[in-house]
Amino acid sequence: MRKSSASDYDLEQFCDEMFMADGSPHPWALGLLETLDNLGSQRLAKRQEAAERALFDMGITFNVYSDEAATEKIFPIDLIPRLVRGQEWDHIERGLFQRVRALNAFINDVYSEQRIVSEGIIPVETIKSAEGYLEPCIGLTPPQGIWCHITGSDIVRDEHGALMVLEDNLRCPSGVSYTLANRNQMKRTFPNLFRSSRVRPISHYPSMLLQMLNQVAPAGNTRPNAAVLTPGKYNSAYFEHSYLARKMGCKLVEGGDLVVEDDRVWMRTTMGLQPVDVIYRRIDDKFLDPEVFRSDSLLGVKGLMRAYRAGNVSLVNAPGTGVADDKLIYTYVPDMIRLYLDEEPILPNVETYRCEDKAQRQHVLANLDKLVVKAVNEAGGYGMLVGPHATKAEREDFAERIAQTPRNYIAQPTLQLSRAPVLVDDHLEGRHVDLRPYVLLGSDIVVVPGGLTRVALKKGSLVVNSSQGGGSKDTWVVDGAQEMDGAQEIDGAQEMVDVPSC
C-alpha cells in the first residue's frame, strides 16, 4: 500500500487544479483522492492500461502524418480527472456566452457595415489582412445572423489562479469527440466514484449539436437534412467526423458525394440524388468551393457557395468566420464585448502585445527571452517561440521574422499555466493543463459542462497540443456539498470571485 496520493505530491511554484498552495486538496477533490488511495497504485496502473487499450480497440485515434508505420495513434488519456468546481464553471460559462455573442456580432459587422472600423477600434487593414477574412462573404447574412455556430476557446489559469482566454478557435474547432469518448471510458473505469460524486453530464452533446444544425437550416425548412462534410479518412480528425456523424445519425459525406444543381446541394446515393440542407463542414474555408476559393481544391464542392448565397444550404460554421481566428484580431475581443454588448468582459484575455504597433514591437524585440511569440495564423502549437526555452539562434530568427512582417506576430508573457496531477508509474506528478469548452450558438446558446482538458504530458512542457506530445483528461464539473466543511478557510474571503486561491 502506498502513501496517500497527496503526501508526496510536489506543487513546485505552480497553481494546481487539485491542491491548494499549502498542499492540501481542495474540498471538492477529497472524494476523488480517497478513491484513488483505496484503489492503490497497482490497480490504478492496470486501469490506465486497460483504458488505453480500449480506446485503441474502439479506434478512437488521430492520424499522424509523418509516421508511416503507425498512422493511427490514440490521444493519450490520463485517468485522473481534472476537477472544476460547479460555481467556477458557471462563471466560465457566463464568460464564454458573452464572448461568443460578441465574436458573432463582430463577424457579422465585418461583412456588413464595419462599425468597429468606423468607431476607430480596429484599423480596416488589420481586418482585411487577416487570413480568414473572405471578401466573397461581404453582404451575406447566414440564417438567423449566426456565423460562429461552434466555438472552442482555450482557457488557462495563470500562477495567481486567474482564468483567462488564451485563444479563440472558430474555423473548425476539434477535440470534442475525445471529450465524449474519455467520459465513456472514465465511467467504465470508475463506476462507483461516478455514482457517488455529482459530475455534470456531457453525453447530450451530439443531440445539442443536431438540434443546433436543425435550428440554423434555411428558413422554412421544417425537416432539414444535415450532413457532416469531411476531407476524408486521411484527415487527422477523421475519427471525430465519423463519430459525430454516427452519434447524430447524419450522413458523413466527402466533397465527391455532393453535387450542386440548380443552386441546390445534393448527395449521390444508391437511389439517386437526395437534397442536403445543412452542412457541418470540417473543411477549411479555402477548400470549400473551387469555383470561388482555391481552384485546385479536390476536397470541396463546385458551386457550394452559389447554393449558400442563394440561401439553399446552411454552412456551419459560416464561411468567413475564420477572420476571428486571427490572433491579432483576438486582442480586440474585450473591445468587441464593450462595443456590441455594452458589457465588461467576464473572462479577460491574456495580456498580449501587437507587433504591428511600433512601441509594442520594440518592447517585444527587447524581451524575446521572456515572451511567447505566436504567428497569428498558426495553430496546433506550430509557429511559436517560447522565449525562455528557446536558443539564441531561434530568438534571432523570430526577431527577423517579426521585423519583416510585424502584422503576422503577437507576443504574450510566458504564462505559468496551472497544473493538474497525472499518473506517472505509481505516483502523481503535476503537469500543465488548459481547457477547451465547445460553445454552440443556434436559436439558443449552450455549452456542455467542462470540455477537453489538454495536458502537456512531458515533464515541464507547456505545449498541450496532441501533435506535440499532449494528452487529455476528462473534465469533471462537480457540485459536491458533502465535503465542503473546510470551505470557508480554504476559499479565503468568500469573495464573488469564483477562482480558488492558490
Partner 1 sequence: MLSRVASSIYWMSRYLERVQSIARLIDVQDQLGMDQPDTPGLGKWEALMRTTRSYEAFEKAYPAATPEDAFRFLTFDPDQPNSMFSCMTAARENARSIREILTSELWQQVNELYHTIRLASSELNREDQLQDRFLDKVKTSGLSFSGIVEGTMASGEARSWFRLGQLIERADQTPRILDVKYFVLLPSPEDVGTPMDQIQWAGLLRSASALQVYRGEFGAITPKQVAELLLFSHVFPRSARYCIREADQELRSVLGTQTGYFCNPAEQLLGQVNSQLQYATIEEVFNYGLHEYIDKLQTQIGLIGQRIDHSYFSN
By the rule CB under 8 A, 291 interacts with partner 1: no
Q: Smallest gap, in angstroms, from Cβ of residue 185 to partner 1?
A: 14
Q: What contacts 290, CB < 8 A, 6 or more positions away? A: 296, 297, 300, 302
Of the candidate residues 13, 66, 270, 391, the single one contacting partner 1 (CB under 8 A): 270
Q: Smallest gap, in angstroms, from Cβ of residue 184 to partner 1?
A: 13
Find out whether 99 and 333 touch, Cβ atoms under 8 Å.
Answer: yes
By the rule CB under 8 A, 271 interacts with partner 1: yes
By the rule CB under 8 A, 252 interacts with partner 1: yes
**# of chain residues touching partner 1 (CB under 8 A):** 24
Q: Could you tell me the CA-to-CA distances from 18 to 28, 203, 247, 259 in Å, in that order?
A: 9, 24, 33, 52
Q: Which is nearer to partner 1, 112 or 269 (CB)?
A: 269
Residue with cell 511559436: 384
Cα–Cα distance measured from residue 484 to residue 140, given in angstroms and rounded to the nearest whole number:
52
| Dihedrals phi, psi of 108, to nearest 5 degrees | -60, -40
Query: Which among 41-49, 55-63, 357-365, 412-420 is the span making contact with partner 1, rule CB under 8 A?
Result: 55-63
| Terminal-residue alpha carbon distance, the chain | 30
Of the candidate residues 53, 128, 204, 246, the single one contacting partner 1 (CB under 8 A): 246
By the rule CB under 8 A, 298 interacts with partner 1: no
For residue 280, the tally of other CB atoms under 10 A from its CB is 26
Q: Smallest gap, in angstroms, from Cβ of residue 69 to partner 1?
A: 11
Q: Which is nearer to partner 1, 179 or 230 (CB)?
A: 230
Q: Smallest gap, in angstroms, from Cβ of residue 276 to partner 1?
A: 11
Q: Smallest gap, in angstroms, from Cβ of residue 254 to partner 1?
A: 7
By the rule CB under 8 A, 484 interacts with partner 1: no
Query: Which among 248-256, 282-290, 323-331, 449-457 is the span making contact with partner 1, rule CB under 8 A?
Result: 248-256
Of the candidate residues 53, 160, 188, 233, the single one contacting partner 1 (CB under 8 A): 233
Q: Smallest gap, in angstroms, from Cβ of residue 224 to partner 1?
A: 17
For 355, the 3-state DSSP assignment is: coil
Cell numbers of 45, please? 496502473
Of the candidate residues 37, 257, 483, 498, the single one contacting partner 1 (CB under 8 A): 257
Cell numbers of 166, please? 488564451
Query: Which among 56-64, 107-115, 334-342, 402-410 is the span making contact with partner 1, rule CB under 8 A?
Result: 56-64
By the rule CB under 8 A, 256 interacts with partner 1: yes
Q: What contacts 166, CB < 8 A, 6 or more positions away? A: 153, 154, 155, 156, 350, 415, 434
Q: Could you tell me the CA-to-CA distances from 480 to 262, 272, 402, 439 in Å, in that order?
A: 57, 54, 49, 24
Cα–Cα distance measured from residue 79 to residue 317, given in angstroms and rounded to the nearest whole number:
33
Q: Which is nearer to partner 1, 251 or 458 (CB)?
A: 251
By the rule CB under 8 A, 251 interacts with partner 1: yes
Query: Footprint of partner 1 on residues 328-357 (CB under 8 A)?
Result: none
Kindly write out the interface string for residues 190-229 of this chain, putting x where it contacts partner 1 by CB under 8 A and - elsewhere.
----------------------------------------
By the rule CB under 8 A, 59 interacts with partner 1: yes
CA 184 to chain centre: 20
By the rule CB under 8 A, 178 interacts with partner 1: no
Cα–Cα distance measured from residue 166 to residue 37, given in angstroms and rounded to the nearest whole number:
34
Cα–Cα distance measured from residue 13 to residue 388, given in angstroms and rounded to the nearest whole number:
17
Cα–Cα distance measured from residue 121 to residue 501, given in angstroms and rounded to the nearest whole number:
35
Q: Which stretches of the chain bind partner 1, using CB under 8 A?
A: 57-59, 232-233, 238-239, 242-243, 245-246, 251-254, 256-257, 267-273
